Structure 1
Amino acid sequence: MAKVEVKELLEAGVHFGHLTRKWDPNMAPYVYMERNGIHIINLYKTAAKIDEAGEALSKIAASGRKILFVATKKQAKDIVSEKAGAINMPYITERWPGGMLTNFVTIRKAVKKMASIDRMKKDGTFMTLSKKERLQVDRLRAKLEKNLGSISDMTRLPGALFVVDIKREHIAIKEAQKLNIPIFAMVDTNSDPRQVDFVIPANDDASKSIDKVLTHVTGAIADGLAERKADKDSKDSAKAEKPSAAKAKATSTEEEE
């Protein structure tokens, strides 16, 4: 993973915090100064924290666990769905479904319902329903797709959560804390960093800032996935070599006899 440059963070406006009167004193270690009534985030600390978070996320991805991205605010939705989707990671950009983690079995049932509707359409069962029933089923499918389509491949609890704006996503944070799921997050100056395991002090309101941080984070995850694939490929080739080596040995033994 490429090292994070302070200059690129500065250009993306990652350093702009909230108004000083809206700050959370627990963010003091990450604040560089105050300018025109706004707190300025220390970008040297941000760069170090992105590197630290990236390393940990890369290891989680290499272990085969999923990282669930959560960002329901307008500025972050499209960025998160694009970046997380590109590395095949689940994400929630619509309303957080209560019990998404703590009641995961129920959520999985809803995802399976979506799959069963798709099967109905394939095998022709769907067309045996009345027009009204078909309309109801279609509406249900659309609703499920909107809220849960992006997590349909998540068959077990995620190995970590990545959150943009912990104040807004407080329900997701609480659920992850209950289950001891590591939380990675962009934390602005108005939030309490003590709720998060891996803090990335950053402006979580500007799309440029969110894009910049997410680019580095998803890049690190992609590295972890590539490492996992390379490891799997080498194991597969080693397995394939073993029988051929055994075969060659058997042949040479026969020739000697």
Structure 2
Amino acid sequence: MTIVTKKQLLEAGVHFGHNTRRWNPKMKEYIYEERNGIYIIDLQKTEKLIIDAYKKLYSIVQNGGKVLFVGTRKQTQDVIREEAIRAGQYYVDQRWLGGTLTNFKTIRRSINRLFKLEAMEEDGTFDLLPKKEVSLLRKEKDKLNKYFSGIRDMTKMPDALFVVDPKSEQNAVREARRLKIPVFALVDTNCDPDEVDYVIPGNDDAIRSVKLIVATMANAIVEAQGGTPVIIEFTDETTQENQTRERTNRRRSRGRSSKSEKVEVTEVKASTNEKENKEESND
């Protein structure tokens, strides 16, 4: 099975980086060109680094390791949760709580409290308590479940950390590095790649880009466990949506918008053959 294709990367818009005014010079080696005020990521390098990360995650899991997926931004939460569950791994899709790794004993106490509250609800203890107290206990349980549902079964340190956007998830990255846990990450042009052990250069805003990269990493884990990886495909409506986003991006890059934020653009403007003629850089 092919791990990922250039066509998939193009269709998902993985090659679109941030506005040129928002970049980290350390990402220069992964940039192919600047187009309409946007950095275009070199997909030839991205493809190679995806394969490298895939093989390493495969090896870690094949040797009994576990992976913690982290993505707390709105556009990444669902994908992180769904793919981590599919791969049977841990995940954090809400705010990263300080000490999740470096002060894990305290985190485990909170998780044990969650287990206790769930047991009280199941064994009928809540039925014996005043309604006001039960209401408070249920709120506490729901809050604990919100933050710890993805790591409730994590009894020891993970063997690898995978994050989407290490700049936004810098606290998680720092804790992992302090504990010498290898960090895998989808890294956009505004991030510092030096903080990541296995860099995957790519668009960390567009949902399809995030989905493709996260699902590919999950496939490595599934395959290592003897399962069947999924084939990641996108619908025909992708093109129309991408064209709209590209037009919006061009207007903003020409100064028609007062904001310098990144636009989630994923248009595939050039054909695959045209990309290959540019030394297969695929933008």
Alignment partner of 1:22: what SS? Answer: coil
| Kept in 2: contact 1:17–1:203 (CA 8 A) | yes
Asked if 1:56 is matched to 2:62, the reply is no
Corresponding residue of 1:232: none
Q: Structure 2: any 5+ residue segments left out of the alignment?
A: 228-283
Give a deviation string over 1:115-135, Cα, whole Å, max 9, x none: 111222233333222222111
Corresponding residue of 1:157: 157
Corresponding residue of 1:101: 101
State the aligned residue count: 227
Distance in 2 between residues matched to 1:198 and 1:12, nearest whole Å: 21
Corresponding residue of 1:26: 26
Alignment partner of 1:32: what SS? Answer: strand
Alignment partner of 2:149: what SS? Answer: helix
Larger Cα-atom Rg: 1
Corresponding residue of 2:65: 65
Corresponding residue of 1:130: 130
| Kept in 2: contact 1:183–1:196 (CA 8 A) | yes
Corresponding residue of 2:39: 39
Q: Give the fraction of aligned pairs with identical amino acids, expressed as a percent.
A: 48
| Kept in 2: contact 1:66–1:154 (CA 8 A) | no
User: AA paired with 2:47?
Assistant: A
Distance in 2 between residues matched to 1:208 and 1:37, nearest whole Å: 22
Corresponding residue of 1:253: none
| Kept in 2: contact 1:24–1:190 (CA 8 A) | yes
Corresponding residue of 2:182: 182
Corresponding residue of 1:85: 85
| Kept in 2: contact 1:193–1:199 (CA 8 A) | yes
Distance in 1 between residues matched to 2:204 and 2:215, nearest whole Å: 14
Displaced runs of 4+ in structure 1, greater than 6 A?
none
Name whichever structure is richer in helix by fraction. 1
Q: What TM-score results when the alignment is normalised by the length of structure 2?
A: 0.78
Distance in 2 between residues matched to 1:86 and 1:163, nearest whole Å: 16
User: AA paired with 2:52?
Assistant: E
Deviation at 1:19, TM superposition (A): 1.2
Deviation at 1:226, TM superposition (A): 1.6
Q: What TM-score results when the alignment is normalised by the length of structure 1?
A: 0.85
